Chain A
Amino acid sequence: GAVVSQHPSWVICKSGTSVKIECRSLDFQATTMFWYRQFPKQSLMLMATSNEGSKATYEQGVEKDKFLINHASLTLSTLTVTSAHPEDSSFYICSARQGGETQYFGPGTRLLVL
Chain B
Amino acid sequence: GENVEQHPSTLSVQEGDSAVIKCTYSDSASNYFPWYKQELGKRPQLIIDIRSNVGEKKDQRIAVTLNKTAKHFSLHITETQPEDSAVYFCAASPTGNQFYFGTGTSLTVIP
Determine if B101 and A49 form an interchain contact, defined as CB atoms under 8 angstroms apart. no
Q: Give residues of chain A (85-102) contacting chain B, Cβ–Cβ below 8 Å.
A: 93, 101-102
Q: How far, in whole Å, are A43 and B1 apart by their CA atoms in the complex?
A: 16
Q: Among B93, B97, B100, B103, which residue has its beta carbon within 8 angstroms of that of A57?
A: B97
Q: Please give the distance in Å from A92's CB to the nearest CB on chain B.
A: 12
Q: Please give the distance in Å from A50's CB to the nearest CB on chain B.
A: 10
Q: Give residues of chain B (35-79) contacting chain A, Cβ–Cβ below 8 Å.
A: 36, 42-46, 49, 51
**Residue in A closest to B106 when the chains form the complex, CB atoms:** A41
Count of chain A to chain B residue pairs whose CB atoms are closer than 8 Å in the complex: 52
Q: Number of contact residues on B: which range applies?
A: 20 to 34
Stretch at the interface among A14-22, A68-76, A104-112: A104-112
Determine if A43 and B98 form an interchain contact, defined as CB atoms under 8 angstroms apart. no
Q: Number of contact residues on A: which range applies?
A: 20 to 34
Q: How far, in whole Å, are A105 and B101 apart by their CA atoms in the complex?
A: 14
> What mask results when residues 78 to 111 of chain B are scored 1 for a CB within 8 Å of chain A, else 0?
0000000000010001001111111110100000
**Given A60-B1, A101-B93, residue A42 in contact with residue B43 (CB < 8 A):** no
**Residue in B closest to A6 when the chains form the complex, CB atoms:** B43
Q: Among A41, A44, A57, A103, which residue has its beta carbon within 8 angstroms of that of B89?
A: A44
Q: Among A43, A102, A107, which residue has its beta carbon within 8 angstroms of that of B49?
A: A102
